[in-house]
Structure 1
Amino acid sequence: MNRPISYDECNCFALRQAARHVTQIYERHLGQVGLTAAQFTILAKLARTPKLTMLDLADAMVMDRTTLVRAMKPLQRDGLVETESAEHDGRTFEFSLSKSGEKTFDRAAVAWRAAQDEFEEKFGRARAKALRSELFDITE
């Protein structure tokens, strides 16, 4: 008979618990601008790389398209993200920030910086940098 698995042995549980904790910090700050952490990351990606297709954006975000569509709907509804047909294929849509999206992103970046600083102050800047490196290695 296998012994019961303890939560402190489970990588997935530890990562999800930490992710919820960190997300709460970021959402407290980003909520002041009316964004969730997931929405902020979408805006940040589109600010750096406009005219992304849904597939390219989903790949970049490591999200399935259904989840991304749900996250994009409020951004499109609120006029933060624009959609246009791709030049090479009228059935493919590309996403970019609208002027309003750019302004919201600029305000959100200030809130994000406050969240980033809060986390790094509690966890340590060097440890946070090392943690990011390790976590990005998982998804590369």
Structure 2
Amino acid sequence: MAVDPTVAADSVEPYDQLNCTHTALRQASRQLTQIYDDAIAPSGLTSAQAMVVSRIDELGGAPSGKGPSLQTLARRLSIQISALTHALKPLVRDGVVEIHADADDRRTKRAVLTPQGMKQTQQMYTLWTTVNARMDAALGEGTAQELRALSRRVASPEFLAAMTSSNEDRPGS
């Protein structure tokens, strides 16, 4: 929605930050990211990198494995391929991940953990388990499960479709 440049800024009613779902989720996300980043820092990984390496591991990317294609990995992480390649650069630079051409189709690139990367991933899993248990205890087991379920719902394709399918509720439509 375009903002009318002729409207004086002081005449515009600010949105209610206390009632804004986006603001509340962003603030919570930043705080949770900091908590998890601090907890898994001894592994040498950030929480964002932990998501990437854990998915590589989950999808057969242990040092002796074939590893997922970058397209599969991006889909599993719910990110664009360009964002994935950007996220992989420091992991490749630091010797955590290697990118190889597929043996059968050289156009397909696959991600595998290096032995060092597997060691860091296993250390991250141990640290993550501890901080995640603390998170569950701080929120309360039922609340933690509800929060994860609601987060999965908001991140689902169905939710996105519901939010983007109709323009009738949008201002200026």
| Aligned position for 1:17 | 27
1:65-119 deviations in Å (ceiling 9; x for gaps): 2322222111111221121112342111011212221111111111111221221
C-alpha separation in 2, matches of 1:83 and 1:41? 17
1:31-55 deviations in Å (ceiling 9; x for gaps): 1111100000111111110222222
Where does structure 1 differ by over 6 angstroms across 4 or more consecutive aligned residues?
none
C-alpha separation in 2, matches of 1:138 and 1:78? 34
One-letter identity of the residue aligned with 1:86: D
Q: Describe the SS at the equivalent of 1:52.
A: coil
Query: Normalising to structure 1: TM-score of the pair?
Result: 0.90
Q: Describe the SS at the equivalent of 2:95.
A: coil
Aligned length: 140
Matched, 1:39 2:55: no
Root mean square deviation of aligned Cα: 1.6
Greater relative contact order (Cα < 8 A, sep 6+): 1
Q: Describe the SS at the equivalent of 2:36.
A: helix
C-alpha separation in 2, matches of 1:49 and 1:65? 17
C-alpha separation in 2, matches of 1:27 and 1:120? 17
| Aligned position for 2:94 | 78
| Aligned position for 1:126 | 142
> Could you say which structure has the larger radius of gyration?
2
Matched, 1:59 2:69: no
C-alpha separation in 1, matches of 2:149 and 2:105? 37
| Aligned position for 2:164 | none
Query: Normalising to structure 2: TM-score of the pair?
Result: 0.74
1:3-35 deviations in Å (ceiling 9; x for gaps): 421111211111111000111110001111111
The answer to which structure has the higher helix fraction is 1
| Aligned position for 2:127 | 111
One-letter identity of the residue aligned with 1:67: A
One-letter identity of the residue aligned with 1:104: Q
